[in-house]
Structure 1
Amino acid sequence: MSQKNTHYRSKSALLLTLLTAAGLGVTVKAEETVTSSSVTSAQTSLSQTSVSEATSSAATSAETTATTDTYVATESAGLESAPVTAAASLTETNTNQVQTPVEGQTLDVRILGTTDLHTNLVNYDYYQDKASEKIGLAKTAILISQAKAENSNVILVDNGDTIQGTPLGTYKAIVDPVDVGEKHPMYAALEALGFDAVTLGNHEFNYGLDYLKKVLANNQLPAVNANVLDTQSGTFLFDPYKIITKTFTDPKGQGLSLNIGITGIVPPQILNWDKANLEGKVTVLDSVQAVEAMVPVMKAAGADIILVLSHSGIGDDQYDVGEENVGYQIAGIDGVDAVVTGHSHAEFPSGNGTGFYEKYRDVDGVNGTITGTPVVMAGKYGDHLGIIDLGLIYQDGKWQVASSHAEIRKVDDKSTVADPTVLAIAKEAHEGTIQYVRQQVGTTTAPINSYFALVKDDPSIQIVNNAQIWYAQQELAGTPEASLPILSAAAPFKAGTRGDATAYTDIPAGPIAIKNVADLYLYDNVTAILKVTGADLREWLEMSAGQFNQVDPTVTGPQDIINTNYRTYNFDVIDGLTYQYDITQPNKYDINGNTLNPAASRLRNLSYNGSPVTDDQEFIVVTNNYRANGNFPGVRNATLNQLLNLENRQVIINYILNENVINPSADHNWTFTNSIAGLDLRFLTADKAQNLIVNDPSITYLGTASSDGFGVFRFNYVELADQTSQEAGQAQGSRGALTAQQRAVIHQLATRAYQETKKARLAQRKKTEPSLLSVQAQLPQTGTTDSTLLSLIGIGLISLLPFLKAKKR
């Protein structure tokens, strides 16, 4: 038996036999049901017509593309550029006559892959409104050019999550949407760089199928996907594969034609994450079974080698039908020669044997193989390029992989060099996005940052929850649900995500603009409401408690408090309740929501309005479509699951516009129990956060961490009568911890005082109502020079956004 995995083969092995026997005219029938929630692929027919059409249109003309160096220095936002070296893009035809391969002939082929670009087209951070040399396709393009210069036998592909992720994605979908016949700037740039094919990520579906189809209709690049079907017809919604025929040059200079079969998959969980856009419209097959089914079809259609674009994390060496991250298993499928993966925003291979995935069997992080197949995962936002080198040999009448090596290369973040072709394509959308994000929507009286969001209640979450409750109260007015307590759940999206010390929200006190709101709320989620019970809330918060490691109260030495394997976007803080966590206890659930310790409980003192929450008590929780349609403990028991009209980000914008001046200070509705008193609990956050803890005895800065940009901090358990007074540097009151009832009373008094202040402020506003344009001048201006006309247009767009959103939904 070869090194390829065979232990996880499903009943689709029978399907493979049928495909091979039938050749190109086949009907593929899934033999097993995908067991993930909402994923229905049992007995799904993949139509004969779809496979035949995909096969007949697969071949393209042979081509060889060589690109000269395209280095250019850029200014931060203006995109003015000056060539450093020749910046001409050339297309050359191989002058060597294409020969028929002979036994023993060799060919060196290079696969280049990007993944999870998330509309990071330009080397620019729209949230900070300044250039960033760590991200952007314009930076990745330099690596592409260099890699092509080393070996011109190149296949260039993108692995999805391409059209969503930054304000530029929002701008081209909502504010200045892609029109019929207009190319999306992301795909226009990929075409200009010579990409051969792309696949679809889960975020391609965020703006709905109509938008996606329009974008792809204007796109000349083949977009392949083998596991999304039209529910009504049972046919593939996209091309299940393409065969790209290219003319390459062997070591002796002889031209050889090679047929590259390319297919792709997306996680079946898109049916959960984008339920509102996809329910009843598409069916999604298990990723592994879909690729297993497609390999023999591509082989029969003439593919010499098989490349899989797997928009799926690598996962682990265990396999369940319908699971999200199966890159490991796809690498083990017979006939697959190379895999470009992504989705997890992680990196593989490490190149030195120290990577995360190398703990699993048959994973080689030095040579970059999984079960013997070369695999790359090139990070996120264009910060890396994946490179797979295949040494092919022609034996027994076919091309075979004799050797391989995979690696990833990081962009040069010390240089301002970027690709001029990409910058020119991006110019209009980039500058429009900058004007859009600079529009002021209000003022914040206190800083909003997320540096300590994982160890204490936090202003970056508080403002989201405040806005969501405000919105839900309006939407539910006059309905039966309005009589129930309305709570809100939100999580920190930027809290040092995946070891990135720049991935924190940091908004100073003063004017707040759309760019700041986008920094608070990264994703294009839609608001949703759930009706749950007190018992459901307990399970929901027990799941959130997975953010913390279990600590030992008997250990006097340092202990890490944060579970870095837990995704911070799953650490929900539910406002409207008060509660505590006892993290000396074990977790009830693992990071995927599976029960670990059925009898375990970390949640303590769960109260509403000062009274303990009962199991049968009913609540409305406003959240987002991702959480509402997921498999979170507690959430999955909701008796009402309903989408509202606006995206969460637009809710925050509308809330700030209504309030004009906001106070995002955290209300400290959650804390830890005194079981951790006196322990040495450590965590990492951005090193510069040390400047924010002068008056905070609960946090101590210990020094710079070994990880770039991070510092080591200690969390100190402090019993305070009023956490707000503590942060303001005031003297402590009682040494005893507040009871839930006392905290609720304090919160009610603070809310009442805030409402009185709000009334007075609104009265004053009626007398002297400033225009948005006059206060917009207070914003710091960076990058390109503002245009008054564009500012007025931008302000008009803001006022229209709620109506545009409502119409869209």
Structure 2
Amino acid sequence: MSKRRFMSQSALLLSLALASGVVVQADETSTAPAESTASAIANTETSTAETGTEANSSSSDLSDEVTEPVAEATNTDNTTDSEGIATPDVAPTSATTATAEPAAASSSEESKDIAPVEGQTVDVRIISTTDLHTNLVNYDYYQDKPSQSVGLAKTAVLIDQAKAENPNVILMDNGDTIQGTPLGTYKAIVDKPEAGEQHPMYAALESLGYDVGTLGNHEFNYGLDYLDQVISTAGMPIVNANVLDATTLKPLYKTYEIITKTFTDTTGKPVTLKLGVTGIVPPQILNWDKANLEGKVVVKDSVEALEALVPEIRAAGADLVFVLSHSGIGDDVYEKGEENEGYQIAGIEGVDAVVTGHSHAEFPAGGKGFYSRYAGVDDVNGLINGTPVTMAGKYGDHLGIIDLNITYKNGKWQTNSAKGEIRKIDTKSDIVDESIIAIAKEAHEGTVNYVRQQVGTTTAPINSYFALVKDDPSVQIVNNAQIWYAKQELAGTPEASLPILSAAAPFKAGGRDFNDVTSYTDIPAGPIAIKNVADLYLYDNVTAILKLTGADIREWLEMSAGQFNQIDPTSTAPQNIVNSDYRIYNFDVIDGVTYEYDITQPNKYDRSGKLVNPDASRVRNLSYQGQPIDDKQEFIVVTNNYRANGSFPGVVNASLNRLLNLENRQAIINYIISEKTINPSADNNWNFTNSIAGLDLRFYSADSAKALIAGAEDMVYLAPADGHDGFGEYRFIYTEKKVVVTPDQPAPSPTLTDKDRQEIRDIVRKAYQETQQVPLKQAGQSKASVIPTSTKELPSTGSTDSSWMTLLGLNLLAVTGLFGRKSRKH
């Protein structure tokens, strides 16, 4: 068994040491400060740890399209060439020198190019995936069970079918590939690929014959060095047109690839085409991953970059030009530098087809989709101003297909007809591509073992089924942990004297427009494992603190109030209380203050954060410790790097904006370890005003959640929801809420001296030396998934083996004794 795998089994013990800020070193070469359980494990592998961080959430904190915010991380500097240009292991090829590299489906090595003849017609098929987010197999790591609604292993079945229908195929991936599930975190931090080792996501893509890929915003979450390493072993070209080196202003990555393919025309004759492919990423990565990218890269506006590059691709010999746009479709109004420009990209001269993504949405959508409202959008045939466009959802749940019928006329290929479509995976069966399951086996098993490690216990279930209509335990736990962590971090600083608040949002509350009934946090009472913490906090965000005034906090909450529709207090008809167009990750709950929303009033801001009703105000009775907040009073608010670096109203006014040392998820883990047992009770610090009392208010949640509200005063289950498979319709009943006053968080642990830290290092190092290595059991393999069956591999939830827990207990006693001894000295 490798040393790396042994380290992953020790994550729980390391979390204990890390909760005290201790650096654990397994050899002389490990010197990086420990920031998380995972990073400490990575340190023992003689390489500097890179801490994965969140959004979008993927994603912009104000995007009207992105359903999930995203991550930020610290990283070491890139290696540089003789001119000081940051470069990956394989030097990028600029646009002027890009050449076609052999691809799995290319026939350029097998035969000479066959020139077209006048009038020759070819049917070309573009197949694409987008926003896979390390959903490699059909498995939900948060619920620790198979899932038939996600996974490249299921998408691959559709790929094979699409190829069988028309073998004239180019297969492409649109980014956000290496981050998004615990598997992504595991491979980036716990079990990093060694030099020359291929990331399992790209191993799978290569095995399926992918010709080319691009970068999504989440590719930057783990730092440029990690990304360069992954690209160097991708096994296929990775292209990007708009990320430049900050010093030289030269492209940091290969800007395009010309892929030579010999296809069969409609009469059965071969003909060679040269297909140019480029890609873009939103400029907002400079905010979302500021810690990784500041001073290292600049990002051009997507439209401007492509308008300059497409003619070059044509001049280099491309017959057709395709754009991998890791950008949402957006709207029909162009603003330079905006996040979602797919609509405009489809209108660029010389672009023959566009694959979009990033928004986790679906296009075309049968004429009923969000984008059908814009001029020039054919939501049935997948066309935007005549150019074929697809957006194939997220996590491998759909496959994008664009069909082009082209004819060679007057010395060039011209499009006769085009059509875009998306195909949904089969969610009713466990049929998968077994070759992908085999490729994923080691990473999947390691991830499952990693997420099963127990960190504490909860006295009651934690779920987010009703997080959009009432104060919720799943958000409360996150805020409690963030305040606990910030008090330790700020001890002894001037900021420690200010009131410390915390902001968090329910990341899982039904998916985009209530389209994913599995998208809820659902943790049973009992042991809490890393998988449960990941379910509470999906993204690799880094904690951040802001210094704001009372007035700023009010504006922050006014923006959050966009989660609710405006209610007519005079109407007796049913009214939907939840605004399904609002992105749930923007619905921040701020704990440490109390407040109410009057949702009979209009919103002050729209869902993009633009001021639309300057005189409007929904926030009522905003108080701190029972007293109305003074607009000039200063507060510290703990949040994440995405919110801190976004354009949220109120947040942008921060007089202090600083990243802390841990990921939000790791802060939650440390909090639970410290508390041992948590009580997931919401303190009801927010509610609605009585302006909605007696009205017929409705909302959607999972139909299965009806069992949780038996006897509840504030909601009633009505019936299964029409048009929302698996969802139920509920009635919300206004009730007065009693605020639960919680005691102050415990004081932070005593500051440790260097001698204290060295003693704890010695304890943990000795534990490693004395622990027997237990090989991982090879699990049985089925169509649906590969799941380790052994319960003796790690101190995991449900484990029947007490050896590791005994070891942990002994070291807890040792560390406790150390703390006690030091505290008595002081």
- TM category (shorter chain) comes to 0.7 to 0.9
Counterpart of 1:113 in structure 2 is 128
Question: Where does 1:70-109 land on structure 2 (aligned, <5 Å)?
Answer: 98-109=113-124
2:476 counterpart SS class: helix
1:452 to 463, 466, 479: 466
1:74-223 pair list within 5 angstroms: 98-223=113-238
* Gap regions ≥5 residues in structure 2: 1-61, 64-84, 750-766, 772-779, 781-785, 797-802, 813-826
Q: Deviations over 1:446-467 (max 9, x none)?
A: 1110011000000000000000
Change (3 A) 1:619 1:63: closer
Residue of 227, 239, 254 corresponding to 2:269: 254
Shift of 1:61: 4.4
CA offsets 1:46-104 (integer angstroms, 9 cap, x no match):
x9x99984443422348747xxxxxxxxxxxxxxxxxxxxxxxxx99878x75321111
Q: How does 1:630-669 map to 2 (within 5 A)?
A: 630-669=646-685
Alignment length (residue pairs)? 681
Question: Which of these residues, 331, 344, 356, is aligned with residue 329 of structure 1?
Answer: 344
Q: Which amino acid aligns with 2:444?
A: H
Where does residue 16 of structure 1 map in the other structure? Answer: none
| 2:435 equivalent among 421, 425, 438 | 421
Separation of aligned partners in 2, 1:250 and 1:61: 22
Pair 1:286 & 2:301 matched: yes
- Distance (whole Å) between structure 2 residues aligned to residue 53 and residue 596 of structure 1: 44
Q: Which residue identity is paired with 2:456?
A: G
Q: Shift of the alpha carbon at 1:785? A: 1.3
Shift of 1:270: 0.6
The reply on whether 1:611 has 2:603 as its aligned counterpart is no
Counterpart residue number, 1:56: 97
**Preserved contact between residue 120 and residue 135 of structure 1 (Cα < 8 Å):** yes
Separation in 1, partners of 2:407, 2:478: 58
Q: What's 1:410 paired with?
A: 424
Q: Distance in 2 between matches of 1:185 and 1:677?
A: 54
Equivalent residue for 1:42? Answer: none
Residue 252 of structure 2 corresponds to which residue in structure 1?
237
Q: Aligned to 2:494, which of 459, 465, 480?
A: 480
**CA–CA separation in structure 2 for the residues paired with 1:554 and 1:228:** 53
Secondary structure at the counterpart of residue 358 of structure 1: helix
Describe the superposition over 1:83-142 as per-residue Cα deviations: whole angstroms up to 9, x where unpaired: xxxxxxxx99878x7532111110111000000000000011101111111110000000
Specify the SS of the correspondent of 2:743: helix
Q: Is the 8 Å Cα contact of residues 64 and 247 (structure 1) preserved in structure 2?
A: no
1:415, CA displacement in angstroms?
Answer: 1.6
Aligned to 2:66: none
Distance 1:488 1:794 in 2: 35
Q: Does 1:692 align with 2:725?
A: no
Tell me by how many angstroms 1:597 deviates. 0.4
For 1:568 and 1:62, the matched residues in 2 are separated by 40
Q: Which of the numbers 785, 792, 806 marks the counterpart of 1:788?
A: 792
Supply the distance in 1 between the matched residues of 2:275 and 2:565 (Cα, whole angstroms). Answer: 46
Distance 2:625 2:278 in 1: 55
Native 8 Å contact 1:201 1:343 kept in 2:
yes
736, 754, 759: which one aligns with 1:719:
736
Bigger mean CA deviation after superposition, 360-369 or 483-492 = 360-369
Mean CA deviation greater in 246-255 or 305-314 = 246-255
For 1:422 and 1:783, locate their aligned partners in 2 and report how far apart those are by CA, in whole Å. 14
In structure 2, the partner of 1:600 is 616
Contact kept in structure 1, 2:241 and 2:309, CA below 8 Å? yes
Is the contact made by 1:64 and 1:94 (CA closer than 8 Å) also made in structure 2?
A: no
The alignment's TM-score, normalised by the length of structure 2, stands at 0.80
Specify which of 549, 553, 559 is matched with residue 543 of structure 1: 559
The whole-number CA distance in structure 2 between the counterparts of 1:303 and 1:127 is: 44
Contact 2:329–2:340 (Cα < 8 Å) also in 1 = yes
Q: CA deviation at 1:694?
A: 1.1
The one-letter code matched in structure 2 to 1:428 is: E
Provide the residue aligned with 1:13 in structure 2. none
Tell me the equivalent position of 1:589. 605
The answer to whether the 8 Å contact 1:62/1:257 transfers is: no
Q: Does 1:674 align with 2:666?
A: no
Amino-acid identity (%): 69
Q: Does 1:515 align with 2:515?
A: no
**CA–CA separation in structure 2 for the residues paired with 1:500 and 1:344:** 15
Q: What is the CA–CA distance in structure 2 between the aligned matches of 1:576 and 1:608, rounded to whole Å?
A: 7
Q: Please give the per-residue CA displacement for 1:418-458, whole angstroms capped at 9, x wherever unaligned.
A: 11221111100000000000111110011110011000000
Give the secondary structure class of the aligned counterpart of 2:116: coil
Conserved 8 A contact 2:128-2:399: yes
Looking at structure 1, the residues matched to 117 and 148 of structure 2 have their Cα atoms a distance apart, in angstroms, of: 47
Within-5 A mapping of 1:753-792: 783-786=787-790, 788-791=792-795
Q: Does 1:398 align with 2:412?
A: yes
Q: Quote how far apart the aligned CAs of 1:719 are.
A: 2.3
TM-align CA RMSD: 2.6
* 1:242-391 mapped onto 2 (5 Å cutoff): 242-350=257-365, 352-391=366-405
Work out the CA distance in 2 between the residues paired with 1:300 and 1:587.
Answer: 50
Distance in 1, Cα, partners of 2:675 & 2:339 = 41
- Per the TM alignment, residue 517 of structure 1 is displaced from its structure 2 partner at its CA by 0.5
- Give the Cα–Cα distance (whole angstroms) in 2 for the partners of residues 416 and 248 of structure 1: 33
Distance 2:303 2:414 in 1: 22
Q: Distance in 2 between matches of 1:790 and 1:427?
A: 18
Q: Deviations over 1:370-421 (max 9, x none)?
A: 0000000000000000000000100110111111111000111112111122
How many angstroms apart in 2 are the aligned matches of 1:266 and 1:550?
Answer: 35
Q: Amino acid of the residue matched to residue 411 of structure 1? A: I
Partner Cα distance (1:475, 1:619) in 2: 15
Quick one: distance in 1 between partners of 2:103 and 2:787? 43
Offset of residue 214 of structure 1: 1.3
Aligned equivalents of 1:51, 1:301: Cα separation in 2: 17
What is the identity, as a one-letter code, of the residue corresponding to 1:581? Answer: Y
SS in 1 for 2:407: strand
Mapped to 1, the partners of 2:359 and 2:253 lie a distance apart of 23
Q: Give the superposition deviation at 1:502.
A: 1.1
Deviation string, structure 1 residues 629-663 (Cα, Å, up to 9, x no partner): 00000000000000000000111111111111001
Match of 1:27 in 2: none
**1: CA distance, partners of 2:109 / 2:255:** 29
Q: What CA distance in whole angstroms lies between the structure 2 residues aligned with 1:302 and 1:794?
A: 62
Moved more, 50-59 or 545-554: 50-59
Query: Would the aligned equivalents of 1:63 and 1:93 in 2 still touch at CA under 8 Å?
Result: no
Q: Distance in 2 between matches of 1:595 and 1:56?
A: 46
Deviations 1:1-43 (A, max 9, x none): xxxxxxxxxxxxxxxxxxxxxxxxxxxxxxxxxxx99xxxxxx
Q: Secondary structure at the match of 1:497?
A: coil
Please state whether the residue corresponding to 1:788 is helix, strand or coil. coil
Equivalent residue number for residue 77 of structure 1: none
C-alpha separation in 2, matches of 1:783 and 1:789: 13
Partners of 2:473 and 2:588 in 1: how far apart? 14
**RCO (CA 8 Å, sep 6+): is it higher in 1 or 2?**
2
- Contact 1:61/1:246 (<8 A) preserved: no
CA–CA separation in structure 1 for the residues paired with 2:208 and 2:242: 27
CA distance in 2, matches of 1:667, 1:59: 60
Instruction: Indicate the SS of the match to 1:700.
Output: strand
CA distance in 2, matches of 1:302, 1:421: 36
